[in-house]
Amino acid sequence: MNYFITEVLPSFSQFAQLHEDSGLLRSKKGNYTREQLYEAAKNSWYAVSIYHHEKLIAFGRMISDGVYQSLICDVMVHPDEQGNGLGKKVIEKLVFKCKESGIQSVQLFSAKGKHPFYKKLGFEEREQDAPGMSLLLL
């Protein structure tokens, strides 16, 4: 299958549709509108979009200080395209951007049940005595 990979942010409608189709919208913590989530994507340090013909089928983005820290966010693949290596391609592009920029620390939060996928790509769980933490402000 022919795919087109770009660093250009998708349109709002394509982004919102993939968020819905992939199930990522339902798994978000907090109450965000689709417009707010798109604004977050627009504020990313780097993003990758994959299309088949004109349809957005995979996406991922990063926020970063551009020096030593980055956080991978919103990796999503359309359910009909899962298992075709697109998620892997997105992660490889994001990690390559970090290597190219000299960033050595790449973090991510995995969606429920997806951490084995990231382990296959070289990511490791944090140590038990140094867990990641979060604060949800509602």
Residues involved in catalysis: 118
Burial 70-89 (b: 16+ CB within 10 A, else e): bbbbbbbbbeebeebebbeb
Q: Which amino acid is at 107?
A: Q
CA distance 128 to 138: 27
Cβ burial of 112 (10 Å; 0-12, 13-18, 19+) is: exposed
d(CA 67, CA 65): 5
**Among candidate residues 33, 38, 36, the one with its CA nearest the CA of residue 13:** 38
User: Which amino acid is it at 128?
Assistant: Q
